[in-house]
């Protein structure tokens, strides 16, 4: 009998420990269900980012398991989850896609699509992917298995989602793009908490009826809203960080939700730049009268940033009477950035010796939609008409000027 007492006590202690451990597990996974603050989950690394600072995913085209073209522009209005795999992977990729299959089933009543991109496109032909998809009863467009040129896969993975896409080291994350084309969040497929969180976030995103322009998003997309450390690692500029006339940082994503007008100029330009900015001063009055509170902001970018400092820009704006709300003058600490911004974002030349005198109209989703010569008759009305059309768009159209 004496020998039994220590054993009983030991069992009671073990049972109490098990209860405590179970409560800890429950508290770790419950936020995904209850809507509590995700950032309090042990081991989770989150960023609180204004939605408009989330990265925008550029349009891409690949080929699905049926041999049909997949155009991401057609996903506007539908959230989609992106993952990377290759068909000959015998273990982890299979487990990943089994998890995606579960998510697909659990979200069967939710308007969402799944996109699985092969990191071995040379071997993963549409026929191979078709047979592979059959193992998961996957059918496009609900669940698309994609292949295409290797450089396009690298562009999508490395440069848009900032993840590794080599067969040996490709990401094990599932990446969620919301219906407005923003890279919303990332989730580890083998983390039970993250999978619960995915179900919650995907369901919330699917029922959004308008962009959450003024909301802050809690996300594991840690690069959201961050200035790139090295400009050379970005193959194509579709957004930019500059500095305004008050020395404040300016991020092009801040303009999400607004149609806006841009131009290039030089502070020391004595001719056409002065005339254009005088014209813009008059146009600002026209915009305020015609569009009232929806008047498009004007963004004037110097093409000689090493000379045109914020102090010079502020003095220039004061001198021409352009120090008014809704008009910002921008510069940079990099000539290279301005040149690339001109050629890659606006499609024109922009440097201290040769810059475009056109005016540019950019839509609510940071897509260049029109170029206008303010010196030609009829161009102003054409520009104002385009602005009216763009302000009526409720979702990205995938249409961009080439």
Round the average pLDDT of the chain to a whole number and report it: 85
How far, in Å, CA of 143 to CA of 362, rounded? 32
State the CATH architecture for 231-391: 3-Layer(aba) Sandwich (3.40)
Render pLDDT for 285-336 as a digit per residue (tens, 0 to 9): 999 999 999 999 999 999 999 999 999 999 999 998 888 889 999 999 889 8
Is the predicted pLDDT of residue 384 greater than 60, yes or no?
A: yes
Is the predicted pLDDT of residue 168 greater than 90, yes or no?
A: no
Q: Quote the pLDDT of residue 235.
A: 61
Is the predicted pLDDT of residue 54 greater than 90, yes or no?
A: no
With cut-offs at 50, 70 and 90, classify the pLDDT of residue 21: very low
- Return the percentage of the chain with pLDDT > 90, whole number: 59
User: Residue range 216-222: average pLDDT?
Assistant: 84
Q: Quote the pLDDT of residue 179.
A: 93
Q: Most confidently modeled of 112-126, 224-238, 384-398?
A: 112-126
Is the predicted pLDDT of residue 85 greater than 80, yes or no?
A: yes
With cut-offs at 50, 70 and 90, classify the pLDDT of residue 114: very high
Q: Which stretch of 47-56, 99-108, 116-125 has the lowest confidence by average pLDDT?
A: 47-56
Spell out the residues 6+ positions from residue 105 whose beta carbon is closer than 8 angstroms to its own: none
Q: Quote the pLDDT of residue 223.
A: 61
Q: Quote the pLDDT of residue 169.
A: 84
CATH homologous superfamily of 41-219 equals: Glutaredoxin (3.40.30.10)
Q: Check if 41-219 and 231-391 are the same fold.
A: yes
Render pLDDT for 222-266 as a digit per residue (tens, 0 to 9): 666 566 655 655 666 778 889 999 999 888 888 888 999 999 999
pTM: 0.67
Domains of the chain, residue spans: 41-219, 231-391
Our measurement of the distance from residue 46's CA atom to the centroid of its chain's CA atoms, rounded to an integer in Å, reads 17
User: Residue range 106-118: average pLDDT?
Assistant: 97
User: Residue range 38-43: average pLDDT?
Assistant: 45
Spell out the residues 6+ positions from residue 211 whose beta carbon is closer than 8 angstroms to its own: 51, 180, 256, 257
- Return the percentage of the chain with pLDDT > 70, whole number: 84
If one compares 145 and 355, the residue with the highest pLDDT of the two is 145
């Amino acid at each position: 009998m004496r020998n039994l007492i220590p054993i009983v006590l030991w069992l009671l202690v073990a049972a109490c420990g098990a209860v405590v451990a179970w409560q800890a597990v429950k508290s770790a996974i419950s936020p995904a269900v209850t809507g509590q603050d995700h950032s309090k989950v042990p081991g989770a690394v989150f960023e609180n980012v204004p939605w408009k600072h989330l990265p925008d995913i550029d349009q891409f085209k690949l080929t699905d398991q049926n041999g049909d073209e997949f155009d991401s522009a057609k996903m506007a209005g539908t959230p989609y989850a992106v993952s990377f795999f290759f068909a000959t992977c015998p273990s982890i990729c299979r487990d990943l896609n089994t998890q995606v299959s579960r998510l697909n089933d659990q979200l069967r009543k939710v308007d969402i699509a799944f996109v699985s991109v092969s990191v071995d496109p040379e071997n993963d032909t549409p026929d191979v992917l078709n047979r592979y998809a059959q193992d998961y009863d996957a059918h496009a467009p609900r669940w698309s298995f994609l292949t295409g040129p290797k450089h396009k896969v690298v562009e999508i993975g490395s440069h848009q989602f900032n993840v590794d896409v080599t067969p040996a080291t490709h990401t094990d994350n599932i990446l969620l793009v919301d219906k407005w084309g923003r890279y919303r969040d990332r989730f580890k497929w083998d983390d039970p908490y993250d999978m619960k969180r995915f179900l919650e976030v995907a369901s919330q995103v699917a029922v959004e009826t308008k962009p959450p322009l003024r909301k802050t998003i809690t996300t594991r997309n840690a690069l959201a809203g961050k200035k790139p450390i090295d400009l050379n690692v970005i193959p194509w500029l579709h957004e930019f960080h500059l500095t305004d006339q008050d020395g404040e940082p300016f991020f092009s994503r801040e303009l999400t939700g607004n149609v806006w007008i841009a131009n290039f100029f030089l502070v020391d330009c004595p001719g056409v730049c002065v005339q254009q900015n005088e014209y813009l001063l008059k146009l600002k009055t026209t915009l305020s009268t015609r569009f009232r509170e929806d008047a498009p902001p004007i963004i004037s970018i110097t093409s000689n940033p090493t000379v045109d400092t914020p102090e010079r820009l502020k003095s220039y704006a004061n001198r021409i009477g352009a120090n008014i709300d809704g008009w910002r003058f921008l510069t940079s600490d990099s000539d290279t950035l301005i040149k690339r911004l001109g050629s890659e974002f606006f499609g024109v030349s922009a440097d201290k010796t040769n810059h475009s005198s056109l005016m540019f109209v950019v839509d609510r989703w940071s897509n260049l939609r029109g170029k206008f010569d303010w010196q030609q008759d009829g161009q102003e009305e054409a520009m104002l008409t385009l602005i009216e059309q763009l302000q009526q768009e409720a979702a990205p159209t995938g249409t961009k000027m080439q």
